Amino acid sequence: MDKNRLLLYMTVFLIMGLSNSVIPVLPEMAALWQGNGGVLASSLLFSGYFIGALLTMLPFGMLSDRYEKRSLILIAITLTLVSGVVLLRSGNLYMLVLARLVEGVACGAFFPVAYAVLSEYPQRNRYIGEFNFLLNAGLAVGVALAGYLAEWSIRGGILVFTLMAMVVLAAGISALRREDTGTGRTQIKPKKVRVDRRQDKMPSPGKIAGHFADRDFYRIWIISFLLFGISGVLTAFYPEYSQDMLSKAALGLSIAAMYVSAMAANIVVGRMDIHYNVLIRGGVVIAVGGALLAIIYPLPGFALIGTGSGAAMIGLPVAVAHMRIPRGLAMGIFNTYTYAGMGLMPVIAGILLAFSGFEIVFAVCAIVLLLSLFLRDRLESESRELNN
């Protein structure tokens, strides 16, 4: 494995692991503050990460079109390390929320760059699948490790991933220095994709807004928003919906099945030579079926959601790579839509719950996601041109 991919793989596991190592101990972290924090403090600690990521995905995606990508990855690792140290050392609520915000900024700095780099490899389906496998593994390990170590220390999981950040940062700096001195070799072999790359100047705000709302890309943007959003809706509201139906152990097993099945799909599907449109359509249909099934049967339902999301999450970045806009900008927009879906869809679902029951809200979200498949884009024709 070349050093570029290894660095990306280590970093995604690190960032996801640290982000989720806070989740099981949110009440205890909020209680470290001597003020009257309560639920508000926990909410701020939870949402600070997503706010930081959502606000910085696009700017860092644009920067990746102009500056050396590995330097941006090292910035992301450094920010992750800084946030981890503050989360370990501080008991002040404002500093903890700021640390989570910085952690989100690190996520925003990393993901557009990572997907842009991986999409340039000839074996990009496989590598994006491996990358997403480690993404889900980091989420799962972060939650499990933090919960396991909580009896020893509520910051035990944070400590482990902060120490890991030190190691990954040292390895990244060392690799960059070897490459600068000519002793290291980069093995990225970009696949020639005919896109419009005008990197001599930053796109204007109007042009960026045009890409966000370009009807040629509606289908990809809307699917990205809804697919990740429906996972957020089920994760956020299923504990309350199932409180009279499932034990805590059964609930945890069902949600864990979503991570595990996504990891399996990432590896298995990523090694298959399947067109991105097939991956997206098939993944959405499976995820929709899982969301509807979860209303009655949680374990197989969540497993199908993970399988469908895992497959689609390979196809979506590959589809984005075919857009006729600078790749870093495209990946920045893509990641902005995914995080917007995770952040906003639960809010929209919460509003709908004031007028209907959980079953109807889950079903409506699934049907809207399915209907997004009937939107059109121009990526299919561009793909044919590239293959001719």
Q: What is the CATH number of the domain that holds 89?
A: 1.20.1250.20
- pTM more than 0.85: no
Q: Is residue 192 part of a domain?
A: no
Q: What is the Cα 280 distance to its own chain's centre?
A: 16
CB 336 within 8 A of CB 54: yes
Q: Is residue 375 part of a domain?
A: yes
Question: Phi and psi dihedrals of 247, rounded to 5?
Answer: -80, 165
Q: Look at residue 387 in the predicted model and tell me its pLDDT.
A: 40
Please check whether residues 152 and 294 belong to one and the same domain.
Answer: no
Question: Phi and psi dihedrals of 364, rounded to 5?
Answer: -60, -45
CB 377 within 8 A of CB 216: yes
Q: Rounded to an integer, what distance in angstroms lies between the CA atom of residue 78 and that of residue 62? A: 20
Query: Residue 157 is which amino acid?
Result: G
**Which structural domain, as residue segments, surrounds residue 276?**
214-388
Please check whether residues 243 and 285 belong to one and the same domain.
Answer: yes
Q: Is residue 156 part of a domain?
A: yes
Q: Is residue 348 part of a domain?
A: yes
Q: Is residue 74 part of a domain?
A: yes
Q: Look at residue 164 in the predicted model and tell me its pLDDT.
A: 94
What tokens does 38 get?
A: 């309560």
Instruction: Among 141, 158, 182, give the residue marking a domain's end.
Output: 182
State which residues of the chain have pLDDT below 50. 183-200, 381-388
Please check whether residues 307 and 220 belong to one and the same domain.
Answer: yes
Q: What is the Cα 336 distance to its own chain's centre?
A: 10
Please check whether residues 37 and 94 belong to one and the same domain.
Answer: yes
Q: Is residue 94 part of a domain?
A: yes
Q: Look at residue 74 in the predicted model and tell me its pLDDT.
A: 93
Please check whether residues 17 and 160 belong to one and the same domain.
Answer: yes
Please check whether residues 163 and 222 belong to one and the same domain.
Answer: no
Q: Rounded to an integer, what distance in angstroms lies between the CA atom of residue 361 and that of residue 352? A: 7
Please check whether residues 163 and 224 belong to one and the same domain.
Answer: no
How many structural domains comprise the chain? 2
CA R_g for the chain = 20
Please check whether residues 226 and 332 belong to one and the same domain.
Answer: yes
